[in-house]
Amino acid sequence: MSALILRNPATEAVVAELPHATVEDMDAAIVRAAAAGDAWRTVSPADRNRLLRRFADTVAAHADELAELETRNMGMPIGSSRWCANAVADTLHYFAGAVEKHAGSTIPVAGGVDMTFHEPLGVVGLITPWNFPMLIASWKLGPALAAGNTVVLKPAEITPLTSIRLGELALEAGLPEGVLNVVVGPGSTVGWRLVEHPLVRKVAFTGSTVVGKRLMQGCADQVKRLTLELGGKSANIVFADADLEKAAAAAPGAVFDNSGQDCCSRSRVLVQRSVFDEFLEKFVAAAAAWKVGDPMDTATAMGPLVTADHLARVLAYSRDLQPVFTGEVPDGPGYWHPVMIAVADDMSPVACREEIFGPVAMVIPFDDEADAVRICNDSEYGLSGSVWTRDGARALRVVRAMEAGTISVNSNSSVRYATPFGGFKQSGLGREHSMHVLDHYTELKNVFISTE
Ligand code: NAD
């Protein structure tokens, strides 16, 4: 059994030394989840609702502890970690309530009665990334468990601590043994076993597009259900008629939040040419006020990147740029990358095309509405995006033309548990959140009963 040393990205101090599970451990967890399946799927809806609410309340009662763990493991500012911990509880509450609302239907037919049922799938494998570890785990745990499935959660091996704690809290809240299993190990071996194992009926994955494609190929063999939440290169489109103060004040948060390690990061800022210089000046001023430093300080807006390896990956993009603004980073240890703003004439630089997953904004001019839509859609990704304008009709025309799944107008907002979230094109397959996601964690069964 190999071990992984987890370091605090802000200090490089060792946070934990963790044994890695083996493929055999994963097999045992899958078998445990399968064995718990019958008991969980037959828990009455009201009791399943109650148990999930108790899980949510237990998470809320441990929100500070979870937040601190997340910040020490992945470097997210403590204010964001606290927000995430409470959002985990809210997400679990929402899906607890959904247990009794995800109803089938009756359909008018000749000669009898026709009805549909949403049946649980069985064992579901949840594979999550390192950028919002506990939050993204909850996006999958909530609907998977509410729908009557049992789960094996495989968190990113570099940020597993809050997922492990969620597993403990679920037991503390009274979820039966075997319903929620957490296995920590490398993706290519232990994670891949969820793709291969015949007892696993579905894989729900959030991570890179490269790995998502591999999983899609792997799942083909058993026609295994698969949902994918993948990468992004989203556009923040600022028209000349926008409230420029408001758009510029929001722009740093749209791209530098979580050190840019955010699939929804609006890392392409598209600005109408007639206000380009004026907006850029305001954006740079707002970025200069962005406080980078100790993630345990509640005043901090941005912490370090997650690991030394990831810092090297981001630097490989940013060192070729000629930024118009580069922020400050703390001296001393830690995996720090400054906030950075660069200008591009068009979409040709690689930094405009590829997901950097760091605090780097590319600002690109456009001429008119059609030009803005053309540049926005000139990407293999289509996850999120924003439009800033005071013209309501324009906002509607542009959002309908954008090839992206999760869009906001005069706001950076992307994710709410009650509204569908997901991507077009190579940003994903399926949706998270809202009642829609429950269809991804159930099979639709149709039954005809003759009355003749
Ligand atoms: P990653 O693809 O490297 O890893 C994600 C998870 O997959 C990890 O748990 C990893 O261990 C596992 N994994 C890796 N190879 C595997 C394999 N062969 N079989 C099974 N599991 C495997 O991604 P990451 O670096 O952890 O996360 C960053 C990426 O996630 C970015 O591209 C980001 O855009 C994306 N992301 C997307 C969303 C979304 O909702 N669309 C949200 C957050 C992050």
Asked whether residue 356 is assigned to any structural domain, the reply reads: yes
Which protein residues touch ligand 1 with a CB less than 6 Å away? 127-131, 136, 154-157, 187-188, 191-192, 206-208, 211, 214, 229-232, 263, 355, 357, 383, 423, 427-428
> Is residue 422 assigned to a domain?
no
* Atom nearest to 432 CA in ligand 1: 40
* Residue 309 shares a structural domain with residue 400: yes
Distance (Å) from CA 450 to ligand 1 centroid: 48
DSSP string for residues in 260-286: G--TT---EEEEEGGGHHHHHHHHHHH
Q: How confident is the model at residue 3 (pLDDT cuts 50, 70, 90)?
A: confident
Nearest CA to ligand 1 atom 35: 207
Q: What distance in Å separates the CA atoms of residue 29 and residue 146, rounded to the nearest whole number?
A: 20
State the DSSP H helix or E strand holding residue 133, giving kind and residue range, or none if neither: helix 133-146
Q: Are residues 11 and 153 in the same domain?
A: yes
Terminal Cα-to-Cα distance of the chain (whole angstroms): 63
Which residue range forms the structural domain that includes residue 243? 235-417
Q: Compute, in angstroms, the gap from residue 2 CA to the centroid of ligand 1.
A: 21
- Which pLDDT value is given to residue 394? 98
**129 in the same domain as 46:** yes
Supply the CATH number for residue 136's domain. Answer: 3.40.605.10
Query: In this structure, which residue's CA is closest to atom 37 in ligand 1?
Result: 230
Q: What is the pLDDT of residues 129-156, one digit of tens each?
A: 999 999 999 999 999 999 999 999 999 9
Q: Is 260 left (phi over 0), alpha (psi -120 to 50) or beta?
A: left
Reported as a single tens digit per residue, the pLDDT across 206-252 is: 999 999 999 999 999 999 999 999 999 999 999 999 999 999 999 99
Residue 129 CA: nearest ligand 1 atom is 26
Quote the ligand 1 centre to 128 CA distance (angstroms): 6
The pLDDT value given to residue 1: 56
Task: State pTM to two decimals.
Answer: 0.98
Q: What is the mean pLDDT of the chain?
A: 97
> Which pLDDT belongs to residue 4?
86
Residues 200 and 271 in one domain: no
Question: Are the CB atoms for 372 and 272 separated by under 8 Å?
Answer: yes
235 pairs with which residues across the strands? 268, 385
Catalytic sites, residue numbers: 229, 263
**pLDDT tens sequence across 108-123:** 999 999 999 999 999 9
| Residue 277 located in a structural domain | yes
